[in-house]
A and B are shown apart, each in its own frame.
Chain A
Amino acid sequence: MSNTPRRMRSASLNKRSKLSDLLYDLKHNKALLLMVLPSALHLFVLSYLPMVGIYYAFTNYNYRGGLFGSPFVGFANFKFLFASGTAWRLTANTIFYNLIFIFAGTAFRIAAAIMLSEIIGNLFRRVTQTIMLLPHFVSMVLVGVFAYNILSYETGVINNFLTSIGADKFDFYSTPWIWRLIIPAVDLWKTTGYGTILYLAAILGISNEIYEAAVIDGVTFMQKIRYITLPSLKPTFTILLLMSLGSLIRGQFDLFYQLVGNNGLLFGSTDIIDTYVYRVLRVTPNIGMGSAVGLYQSVVGALMLLGVNYIIRRIEPDNALF
């Protein structure tokens, strides 16, 4: 609503140059621009200024020399990441997990939001929502401890149960494949409640008139969801999807580290870029190598975002970010 003046202008005069566009805005939309200013400044100071630090990735850092006085070493800092195919395996794992988190997570959130919105009892809905939100506030360190007490071989809850019904114990901590299920499960448990809020807000924003009209036309409960709720959530979904794709190659360090720790047996299926970097640079902290990884993640993330945005723009221009 608020950017109507600008839209009108762009639509009518889109042949004019961008500069005159800006000048027009400066003249006629001062208040709006002023409202944007704080976040623009925030973005500039916290996201653009620090980009100077990219240069660290190409230096052999030294405290006396600082950023620009340290010797330039070219791409040497990237070597450890790409040696012996590590980068590929890590990138694949990182993307694999993030895709699961994004799609399974979104599915759960939307499902939960729809269910919550359909609950009639107000008190029951609030209680349910609060309970769903609780895991979000449990620190990952504690989650790691919980998981260990549930999964450990000798004393874990699951293995105690298996023993009591006469079944064989299951050794979670030396079975890599099971972690492809456990890690997403823990992530879902932890993030669904919080992520539901956005979708719930979007659902509550759908005009009631549409539903009423549909009910008069005789839709069933499932049809209501299928033909009204889900399509209305599409814009929210696309924007959230695009935003999360930007960090597709950034792993959730604490989730993986707290659950798996330094258990080399499981690395084949659980090692992501962030845990790898932590592990190898823990002994000899190296700013150049750390920056190199950050840069690699940012570049791949940016490419991913641009690519997906391009595809979406082709299919459905209204939902693209830019």
Chain B
Amino acid sequence: MKRNSMVALVLTLMLITLTFIGCSPSETPEPSTPADETPKPAQTAGNEEEKPLLDTSKRIELVVWFAGDPAPDAGSVIEELNKKLLEDFNCTMKINHLGWADYETRYSLLLNAKEECDILYSANWLNARDYNRKGAFLELDELLVNYAPELYEFLDRWEEVTMNGSIYAIPNNNVRHDNTGIVYREDLRKKYNLPIPDSVENIEAYFQGIKENEPTMLPTSDKAVFDGTMSSTRFAWNREQNVIGASFGVSYTGYDESKLTEITYDWETPEYLEMLKKIKEWADKGYWSRSLLSAQNDPAVDFDAGLTAAIFNKHMDGWSGHVTTNEVDKDEGWEIGFVPFQNKYGISVLTSAEQDMTVLPIQCKDPARAIAVVEKIFLDVDYFHLIQYGIKGVHYDVNENGEYTVGPKTEQFGPGGLASWCWRNVDFYLESTATPAKVEEMRDLMDTLTPVSPCSFSLDTSNISAEVASLENTIVQYLEPLKLGQHDDPEKGFEEFMRQAKIAGYDKVKEEFEKQWEVFITESGLK
């Protein structure tokens, strides 16, 4: 009957598990390090030319964990995959999914409790670097050279998944345009002759038009309205997250390579306060619910239901999803528009290599086989198509032009039905006739922009964990209400926030950030 916090729950479970199983692995940590990982053949590898052979004599089951939810018919695809794996590697795979409902908690439990897991999905948004810093993942350098040399050769971007001189994850080659912006109702915009919402003024005009003409709609229900609008003015905004892992108000100047090393403290800029005042005005005009701060809604669901007219911080993929849902799947005359704000600066931010990665957790029972299997999936077209599209003739088909077409059971398993985002090889992608034309056009447009790779800096908070925790609390308590215009006087409210932030340790976080940033730009040759 006890209703403890999530943290307490995590802890209790962790403690219990640890009592039973945790103690023993921690007594023998040594075999997990890659130096000893190499099985017997390695002992004979006196000369470096000779590579150790993969030992497949013992039949094993590799346990895989992905984030997300699988398609209904994933079971039959995995069955088919296991037939192939058994033949090639004398192993099978058990693919599990961390459902969207509580993926963060389950992910950390999986690692903390050292649950059985041999191959794991990881990403920057799942705190990959933080886990690696605490030693949760195996170093892959030698494993790659020994057991997946072709994959090592095939993929580049390894430097983006390197920490402290060793590779900790396998990226993929699915580099996409990652510009973000506002998704809005183009049909309503045209109907009421409103401007395209591509700047603060135009967003305001669009919101006002919706408010006046559509009494049953609210302009938005997205709590990200502040950050989203802000990113239309300062395109550096979205990189804040990449720089520091959470919004501590620090970003660097932008995509201009010559200024890359300059740091901006967003909270200390006049624009920040100006924007807070603007947001207060919008809140007073009733562009979103006054109770939004406590709402547990999903703004994207509200948007699809026709309750609101804008959502923020969307990428191409997100937009494309809304286009399919609202234009293709239902016929109500909706048109879904998209303004990726970075476009007006002529820049296309590419997805980070750390967006979708494969890692081997330290409890992996056979790292050599695991990495060899991953290599096969990446580089063998049959394996890849099976995993990405399902069983040919059942879940998909290929027409005479080599294009993807639907099969009898596509609804049960569409492209990417296994949620295997970390295993993507774009070279083997099948062209699809189903992509909406305007999404294609946008993609073509973005192909012409200057590509920019995101920065892989991530703040190590181990020295400042108490300050980061307090600061996190201060942000939620004092800044978040301001960001939705929930304060009578934004100027005073912001003053109070800055005062509290200083008490919480803002200066110390800044200092630590600068120190680490200096090291980072020196090491990565930016300076």
Q: Which A residues are closer than 8 A to B by beta carbons?
A: 45-46, 49-50, 52-53, 56, 60-69, 76, 79-80, 83-84, 86, 141, 144-145, 148, 151-156, 171-174, 247, 250-255, 258-267, 271, 273-287, 289-291, 293-294, 297
Contacts and interface: CB of A to CB of B under 8 A. Distances in A.
B370 to A, nearest CB: 17
A261 B297 CA distance: 11
Given A49-B19, A69-B26, A148-B296, A62 B291 contact: no
Given A53-B14, A262-B293, A274-B8, A279 B473 contact: yes
B258 interface: no
13 contacts: A53-B18, A63-B135, A65-B26, A155-B289, A171-B291, A253-B3, A264-B479, A274-B4, A276-B473, A277-B5, A277-B7, A285-B127, A287-B11
A144 B291 CA distance: 13
Contacts of B26: 65-69
A254 B503 CA distance: 29
Interface in B112-169: 112, 114, 127, 130-131, 134-136
A83 B8 CA distance: 21
Nearest to B112: A287
B465 interface: yes
Q: Which of B4, B111, B468 has the most CB of A within 10 A?
A: B4
A264 B476 contact: yes
A63 B362 contact: yes
B462 interface: yes
Contact of B466 (A80, A171, A271): A80
Given A66-B26, A68-B26, A262 B476 contact: yes
Contact of A278 (B5, B19, B25, B294): B5
Interface string B447-472: 00000000000000110011111101
Contacts of A275: 5
A145 B294 CA distance: 10
Given A84-B503, A153-B289, 12 more contacts: A50-B12, A50-B16, A52-B19, A64-B135, A66-B25, A173-B290, A264-B293, A264-B476, A264-B479, A277-B8, A284-B465, A289-B466
Contacts of B305: none
Contacts of A258: 296
B469 A281 contact: yes
B480 A264 contact: yes
The 5 closest A-B pairs by CB, nearest first: A66-B26, A274-B5, A53-B15, A64-B135, A80-B466
A290 B362 contact: no
A46 B134 CA distance: 27
Contacts of B472: 279-280, 282-283
Contacts of B33: 64
A46 B295 CA distance: 37
Contacts of A83: 466, 470, 504-505
B477 interface: yes
A145 B297 CA distance: 9
A281 B7 contact: yes
B245 interface: yes
Interface in B457-505: 461-462, 465-470, 472-473, 476-481, 486, 503-505
A29 B136 CA distance: 51
Interface in B5-44: 5-8, 10-12, 14-16, 18-19, 22-23, 25-26, 29, 32-33
Contacts of B10: 290
A154 B211 CA distance: 14
A62 B477 contact: no
A289 B23 contact: no
Nearest to A172: B291
A6 to B, nearest CB: 29
A81 to B, nearest CB: 9
Contacts of B295: 148, 152, 261
Contacts of B291: 148, 151-154, 156, 171-173
Q: Which of B108, B130, B472, B505 has the most CB of A within 10 A?
A: B472
B2 interface: yes
B246 interface: yes
Nearest to B488: A174
Contact of B127 (A45, A68, A172, A284): A284
B11 A261 contact: no
B505 to A, nearest CB: 8
Given A262-B480, A290-B11, A66 B293 contact: no
A313 to B, nearest CB: 26
A255 B3 contact: yes
B11 A152 contact: no
A7 to B, nearest CB: 30
B15 A50 contact: yes
A278 B476 CA distance: 12
A76 B465 CA distance: 9
A52 B18 CA distance: 9
Contacts of B296: 141, 144-145, 148, 258, 261
A37 to B, nearest CB: 20
Contacts of B18: 50, 52-53, 66-67
A69 B291 CA distance: 47
Contacts of B3: 252-255
Given A64-B29, A66-B23, A264-B476, A274 B134 contact: no
Contacts of A279: 472-473, 476
Given A50-B12, A86-B473, A253 B245 contact: no
Contacts of B362: 63-64
Contact of B294 (A261, A271, A285, A294): A261
Contact of B293 (A263, A276, A289): A263
Contact of B470 (A69, A254, A274, A280): A280
B290 A60 contact: no
A66 B111 CA distance: 11
